[in-house]
Amino acid sequence: MPFNIYQFWLFYLVVFLLYFRLPHKLQNRAILLASYVFYGFWDYRFLTLIAFSTFVDFYVARAIDRESEEVKRKFYLKLSLFTNLGLLAFFKYFGFFREQFEVALNSLSIPISLPYLEVLLPVGISFYTFQTLSYTIDVYRGKTKAVDDFLDFALYVSFFPQLVAGPIERSSRLIPQVVEPRPKSPYRFEEGLYHVLTGLFKKVVLADNMAPIVNDVFSRPVSELSGFEVLFGVWAFAFQIYGDFAGYSSIAQGISKWMGFDLMWNFRMPYLAINPSDFWKRWHISLSGWLRDYLYIPLGGNRGSSFFTSRNLMLTMLLGGLWHGAAWTFIVWGAVHGLILILFRYLPGGQKDSLGDISAPRFLQAFIFFQFVSLTWLLFRAETIGQAWEMLLLVFSDPRLSDFSIYALANILFFAGPLMLFEVWVEKKQDLLAFLSLSLWPKVLIFLYVVASMLVFSPLAKQDFIYFQF
C-alpha cells in the first residue's frame, strides 16, 4: 500500500484514531494487526514468509540468550543466518544465479538447460531480512537482550511505516520503543507534519515529475540521443531516486512520529557530499551503517594493511550493490563505488566531510562529486551494462543541445532547485529540524507552498516507489 494513494491515508486514519483509544499493550497489538493488513495489501501469500522469519528469529535469539556454551550459540546464530539469507537468496537471486550458472556451463562447452522457475519477489524482503539479522547478531554479540514477548518482536519486524522500504532499524533503537509506553507531545505532531509534507513533496512534486524525463531518455535507442540528453536524463534520475526514496523515509518518520515512534534519519542532504565517504554518511544511512557494522568491520575494517582495507571496502560495496538487485548492473555499480572509496581513502583530505561548510570551494567540490554520483546512476537505471557504457561515452562525445535537453534542464531546475536551496540552508544551520525553529508565518508560508505544489504539479500518472523492487 503506497504512501502516495488515498487508500493508505484512509487506512492510516482508522489506525491512528483507534490507536490513541487503547492502552499500551493493545496499541502494540493494533499496530501489529495493521502492519499485517498493510503488507497483505501487496500480496497476502507472503504474510506466511514474514511470519516464518519472525518465528525463527524470535526463538533463535531466545536460545542464544540463554545458552552459555559458545558452540551452541554459534549454531543458533548460523541457523538464523541460513534461514534469512536462504529465503532472500531463493526469492531474490534464484533466477539470476540459475542463468549465470547455465551461461558458465555453456561457455565450457557443456550444453545444459536448467529448469526455469518463476519466483515472485516479496516486497520489502531485503529490508526486513537485514533488520531481523541485525537483531540476532546483536543478541549473539551481547549488545541487546532477546525479547520475551513474541507479539512485540513481531511488531519490531513488521512495523508498517518502515516495513517495505526502510529505514532498516536496529533492535537497540526500535524494540525499546515497542516495549515501553510511548510519550505524547504536541511537538511530535508538528515534527511529524514536517516529515510527511516534505516527504510527499519529494515524492509527488520532485520524483514523479522527473520520471517522464527519465523514462523518455532510457527508453530511446542510444543512437537517437545526444550527450546532453543523457547527462540531464541521469541528473533527472538522480533527483527521481532521491526524491522517491528519501520521500518514503521521511513520510515513514512522520507517520511514526504521530504514533510516538522515532525512526532514524535515512538521508542527510546527500547531494551536498564532497567525496564518497561523505556521500555514504548521507545516503541510505541505515544500509551503509548496516554494511559497516555487520560486514566491513567483521571482515577486519581498516585494522589491517592497505591491501586488506581495500579488499574489505570492495567486498562491502559489492554486497551493497548485490543487495539492490540481482543483475550485473548493480554489481558493477557497487564495484565502481568501492573503487572510488578506495581511491579517495588514500588522497589527502579524502575522508573529510562538508557538514556545515557552505563556502564556494566546497560547493564546487559537491557539484563535481554530484556529476560522478549521477553518472554511476546510469548503471542503476540502465537495462544492461552495454547500454550504460554507450550512454556514458555519449556524454563525453556528443555535446549537442536539443530542444528536449533544454526542456529537461528547465524541469530539473524548476522542481529540484527549491529543494536544494532549502537543503543548503539546513546544511548551514547544522540542524536537520531547523525549519521547526522558524517563527509561525515563515513555516505557514512554506507549508502552503508545499501543499500548493502538490496540488498543481502532481502528475496524472502515479509512480510507484522505486525502492519497492529491492
The C-alpha cell 575522508 sits at: 351
Nearest to 246 by CA among 280, 214, 269: 269
Task: Please tell me what DSSP assigns to residue 205.
Answer: I
Tell me how far apart the alpha carbons of residues 36 and 380 are, in angstroms, rounded to a whole number.
Answer: 31
Q: Which three cell numbers stand for residue 161?
A: 511505516
Residue ranges in 23-93 assigned as alpha helix (H): 24-43, 47-66, 70-88
Nearest to 323 by CA among 42, 93, 159, 86: 93
Q: What amino acid is encoded at 244 in this protein?
A: D
User: Taking a C-beta distance cutoff of 8 angstroms, is the pair 256, 268 a contact?
Assistant: no
Contacts with 234 (C-beta within 8 Å, 6 or more apart), sequence order:
217, 374, 375, 377, 378, 381, 391
Tell me how far apart the alpha carbons of residues 322 and 291 are, in angstroms, rounded to a whole number.
Answer: 12
Catalytic residue among 24, 195, 284, 324: 324
Which phi and psi angles does 233 have, rounded to 5°? -65, -40
**C-alpha angle 414/420/426, rounded to 5°?**
145
Any catalytic annotation for residue 324? yes
Residue ranges in 145-185 assigned as alpha helix (H): 150-158, 171-179
Question: Which residues carry out catalysis?
Answer: 324
